[in-house]
Every structure is written in C-alpha cells, then in structure tokens.
Amino acid sequence: MLIDAHQHVFWHWRNDADLIADMDAHGIDLAWLLTWEITPAEWEPNWIRILNPVHVRPDGTNRGVLLSDLLLASSRHPNRFILGYCPHPAIGDAPALFESAYHIHRVRVCGEWKFRMEFDDPRCIALFKKAGELKCPVVLHLDVRHLPDKQTGKPIEQKAWFGGDIQNIERALQLCPETTFIGHAPGFWRYISADAASDPEPYPKGPVKEGGEVARLLEKYPNLYADLSAGSGLGAIRRDVEHGRKFLNRFADRLLFARDYYGGELLEFVKSLQLSKDVEEKIFFCNAQKLIPEVQPHPPVLRKL
C-alpha cells in the first residue's frame, strides 16, 4: 500500500481527474488532500500560474486551495482521499471552523498551515489544541523569517516567510503536547543539518552536519512527525545519501511518504536506498494509517441551543 500524506488539487494546471491518473500511475492508493488559504496580504504574484483561477479576487489575488475544491474532488472520487483543512488563524474563529469541518465534512487533518504569522501565536495555539482534542494531525509549513546574507552573514528578512523559525515550532510542541505536528517545507528541512543557521541557501545542499535541530526535536518530542514531500523533504534526504539512509532508518516511526506535487521521484529514491521492508512500510503507509486509522461518521451529541 502507498499513502501520499501531503497533496493538493486543482493546481499546477491539473484537475482532480489528472491527480487520480497520476496517483494510479505511481501506485498510490490514498492521498491526504490539504487546503492552503491565502489572504491578500500574504499573496505573491508568482503563485497566479499554479492556482485555480476560479478563486481569483477582484484585486487579482487568489484565495488559494479551498475546502470546496477538496469536497468536489472527494465527491467525484470516493475512497481515494483523506480531507484536510486549515482555516486562517487570524480570521474568525479558526478552532470552531475546524471543528465544524471535522463533523460535517469528515476532515481529519489540520493542514496545510501556511500563514505569515508565528506558529506559537496564541491564535494558532488555540487551533492546534482543538486539532489535538479531535485527534487530527497538524501539517506545518515553515519558511524561515531570516536567512544570512551570503557576503556578510547578517540576517536578512525574507518576504515570503511562514511560521517564524524552528524555535517557534518547538514552543508549539511544548504548548500542545496532545497535538501531533508534521514538519514540512524548506524552513523545516534545512535544520536536518547542524549548520543550518549559517547557510544562506533556501534549499541547502551538500553534506549534512550531524546534530541538526530536526533530529533533536524528533528525539525529544514524541508528538512531532515529518513528511518527505517536495524538493525540501526529498532534497534533505538526497543531499547526503548515506546520512539520508541512516536518518530514514533512525526515524522510520515518525516519517511520512508525501509528494506535495506529482510524479514518482521520491518513491524511486527511497526504493533505491534498499531499506528493510519494515522501514519502507512504516514510511509508505503504516505511519499515516496510525495517525488517521479511519474516517467514520460519528456526529456529536446534540446540545440544546
């Protein structure tokens, strides 16, 4: 079995039928579909080509990948998707919105969290605690707020940052011990190496220096997982193949096969490492099944209004 634990729909010029065809071509049985809500203030013009034009606002910005897109795809392709949803924590009552989506639409993942605010903002913590109460994992997108200048080493603020820094993730882990978090994206995976803070590249390359923050956090916090999706996850494992092999073996209980795009690049690379069957199965589907064992209707007890 193969579960893709990080996927979107109606983006990168592909619709839901295209996604299903790609899943079938690579032997993927099930995918976690995630939302990505974008406010006008967070908008980057280069995203216009990859998102669904149905959701363009009058000002030219796009609302992103919405829950309505996921519901449409799921209705057309039953039993192929686990639904995710992450309402913007700065807009409205995000915990209440998520709980409603959990009951009404059988949402079982809080994700993708990708907003220009810090993970440990009290509004985010309230949402994370609600997700933990409902036993739904939270997928975190981290793009660090500062990178060192290539010449001077001085920290330069990045325009498109999400979440803050690795320390913000750790504080969220401490504040929400009952919530399962899944680390993702360049800002997270750069910390596989101990020299991440001094590396100016958004996607670091070359040998991994032992003692990185990702390994420390995975060791210290049992509520932290990580997905191997996109150029960030695959790149972190592939930049130093021997270290990558050891890392997958060491944290096999906490890593998720995921793509955040299309194709079989990650699958082919993991297969090339010739890991044990037990390790492969944990990464390919067992860990995902452990986090979301089933999606059964179970409406809450009715309350008097």
| pLDDT tens-digit series, residues 107-159 | 999 999 999 999 999 999 999 999 999 999 999 999 999 999 999 999 999 99
Structure confidence by residue, pLDDT tens digits, 3-23 = 999 999 999 999 999 999 999
Looking at residues 155-179, what average pLDDT do you find? 97
Structure confidence by residue, pLDDT tens digits, 195-249 = 999 999 999 999 999 999 999 999 999 999 999 999 999 999 999 999 999 999 9
Q: What is the pLDDT of residue 305?
A: 59
Q: Is residue 35 part of a domain?
A: yes
Looking at residues 57-78, what average pLDDT do you find? 98
Q: Is residue 19 part of a domain?
A: yes
| Cα distance between residue 38 and residue 112, in whole Å | 11
pLDDT at residue 297 tops 90: no
The answer to whether 8 and 292 are in contact (CB under 8 A) is no
The answer to whether 272 and 234 are in contact (CB under 8 A) is no
Q: What is the pLDDT of residue 295?
A: 74
Q: What is the pLDDT of residue 49?
A: 95
Instruction: Match 């995918």 to its residue by tokens.
Output: 31
Mean pLDDT of the chain: 96
Q: Which domain holds residue 199?
A: 3-291
Q: What is the pLDDT of residue 17?
A: 98
pLDDT at residue 299 tops 70: no
Q: Is residue 135 part of a domain?
A: yes
Residue 108 vs residues 67, 104, 120, 152: alpha-carbon distances, Å: 12, 11, 22, 45
Q: Is residue 34 part of a domain?
A: yes
Q: What is the CATH number of the domain that holds 218?
A: 3.20.20.140
Collapse the DSSP code of 202 into the 3-class scheme (helix H, G, I; strand E, B; otherwise coil) and give the result. Answer: coil
Q: Is residue 239 part of a domain?
A: yes
Q: Is residue 111 part of a domain?
A: yes
- The helix/strand count (H/E) of the chain reads as 12, 14
| Cα distance between residue 305 and residue 303, in whole Å | 6
Which parts of the chain fold into alpha helices (H)? 16-25, 67-76, 94-105, 122-133, 166-175, 186-189, 213-220, 230-238, 241-250, 265-272, 277-281, 287-291
- Lowest-confidence pick of 157-171, 251-265, 289-303: 289-303
303 — pLDDT class (breaks 50, 70, 90): low
pLDDT at residue 294 tops 80: no
pLDDT at residue 53 tops 70: yes
Structure confidence by residue, pLDDT tens digits, 99-112 = 999 999 999 999 99
Q: How much of the chain is helix, strand and coil, in % rounded to 5?
A: 40, 15, 40
Q: From the CB of residue 290, how many other CB atoms can be counted at a distance below 10 Å?
A: 13
Instruction: Please report, rounded to a whole number, the percentage of residues in the chain having pLDDT higher than 90.
Output: 96
Hey, CA dihedral for 181, 65, 32, 271, is it positive or negative? negative
Q: What is the pLDDT of residue 304?
A: 66
Q: Is residue 24 part of a domain?
A: yes
Looking at residues 260-281, what average pLDDT do you find? 98
Q: Is residue 304 part of a domain?
A: no
Domain total in the chain: 1
